[in-house]
A and B are shown apart, each in its own frame.
Chain A
Amino acid sequence: MIQFSKVSKWYGEYQALVDVTAEVKQGEVVVVCGPSGSGKSTLIRTVNRLETIQAGEITVDGTSVHQATLNLNRFRSRVGFVFQQFNLFPHLSALDNVCLAPMKAAGKNRKDAKRQALALLDRVGLASKANSYPQQLSGGQQQRVAIARALAMEPPVMLFDEPTSALDPEMVGEVLNVMKSLARDGMTMMCVTHEMGFAREVSDSVWFMDRGAILEVADPQTFFRSPEHPRAQAFLSDLRH
């Protein structure tokens, strides 16, 4: 579904992504982990071209993402993206946050968009907050609205960039539960996260990154029990302490 082949990216002299080659298969949940500054967020942001790449190729569902002729808006509507900072539109209610893109980018009428948005808010457990504004919602609720908003374009792939890192600890669970239910429904997901419990329980594959390169790809049982790469071993033992 998502294929990286020899992807490299530089910020000036600094190489942020080093020859990344990997694949997220249809229906698979991949967790990308690694120390901060290892290029996880940069990698996930290249998938919907929030970041450009200088070498290699990324394809999503057979479409080459960084080709000049790509219809970027249409492509992006097929890839859901959830941000660490939620990035809800503060001037719109939860309902309108979810409705906006279906109406303005997909041309749905208000009635259909609203019906769909209410169903999605219900799915993330926030139907009762449809008319609330972002600043009236807790962090966990905002992030769930953000997930509903990304789902509104009915993307076959969802990308999560540290979706729980900006949350108070007691709100992490509600967001992870929504992500788990998406995974159960067979959504293809790529998640940058520090939630190793989620990785262990839900993911099909764990990618360990450091200094811009993927050092290890393994199923979660293997990865957490006996990681091969020394840096992965060090990373996991730091996490346990």
Chain B
Amino acid sequence: MLDILTQNAHFLLLGQYPSGPIGGLALTLILALLGLAFAIPLSLLLALCRVSPYRVLSVPSTVLVYIVRGVPLVMLVFWSYFLVPGLIGHLVSAFTTLVVTLVIYQAAYLSEIVRAGIESLPTGQTESARSLGMSYGSTMRHVILPQALYNMLPSILSQCVSTVKDTSIGYVISVQELTFSAQQINASLLTRPFQVFLVLALVYFAVCYTLTRCVQGVERRISRRRASGKMSNVRSLINDSVLQS
């Protein structure tokens, strides 16, 4: 089994790169990072819309989140892959389709975490900020979000880790990420699917396990800082940016 890994290491890691397009684990990580880079700000926006007192914002954002959460990721990928070109009249690359789908999918889940963080804060926080004359937006930005995001950091990070696994859905529309590479190896070896896919699983596991351990590290730091009541670096960073912005 190890021979599969050693003989195909380059292909699993980078795909056909540099003689062809980049693929394999590298593409998987690129997809995950790109997805998150857009999903995180979008999730913030979605969460703000969901808790908004204006129904024009809260209703559509709630509908969007419920739809995305109620549909399997593979359906979303098919929809965007087959429907979007029809709607906009020209082809979209599988890579772009996958990134956009991942962004929408992850943003929906992340926004639920952010919303939970906002709603778990005592109402007294909003009341005291508003009673000082701070506007809704200013209260959100300087009082509510810094606390909500900090409290929810562990959940947000573990949702981010699962993005790595979600990229595997790219296989169904032939994005040449890790799962697709493994499938190609399997097709050329023909007789050893069990071993090939075990290698694939181990690679995913290694990446996600490492990231999960990092998240646990962050979690431990947060609970240690809470216990000691001391100001953390994260906090002082937030503070400075709050008061200097």
Interfacial residues, chain A to chain B (CB-CB below 8 A): 48, 50, 73-79, 81, 83, 85, 87-93, 96, 99-101, 103-106, 110, 133, 135-136, 146, 149-150, 152-153
Contacts and interface: CB of A to CB of B under 8 A. Distances in A.
Given A83-B124, A90-B147, A91-B235, A73 B135 contact: yes
B133 A89 contact: no
Nearest to A100: B142
B223 to A, nearest CB: 14
Interface stretch (B87-95, B206-214, B237-245): B237-245
Nearest to B128: A87
A78 B133 CA distance: 8
Contact of B130 (A76, A90, A91): A76
Contacts of A136: 229
Taking residues whose C-beta sits less than 8 angstroms from the other chain, chain B's interface range is 20 to 34
A188 B177 CA distance: 69
A137 to B, nearest CB: 10
B132 A83 contact: no
A91 B133 contact: no
B235 to A, nearest CB: 6
A143 to B, nearest CB: 12
B38 interface: no
Given A50-B127, A83-B128, A87-B128, A101 B122 contact: no
Contacts of B120: none
15 contacts: A50-B130, A81-B132, A83-B127, A83-B128, A91-B239, A92-B239, A96-B242, A100-B142, A100-B143, A103-B243, A105-B135, A106-B133, A110-B244, A146-B128, A149-B128
Chain B interface main SS type: helix
Given A76-B130, A91-B238, A100-B242, 17 more contacts: A48-B131, A76-B133, A81-B132, A85-B122, A91-B146, A91-B235, A96-B243, A100-B132, A100-B243, A101-B129, A101-B133, A104-B134, A104-B138, A104-B142, A105-B135, A105-B138, A150-B131
Interface of B: 122, 124-125, 127-135, 138, 142-143, 146-147, 150, 229-231, 235, 238-239, 242-244
Contacts of B231: 93, 133
B186 to A, nearest CB: 51
B127 A105 contact: no
A83 B242 CA distance: 24
Nearest to B139: A104
A91 B147 contact: yes
Given A77-B133, A101-B134, A105-B135, A110 B243 contact: yes
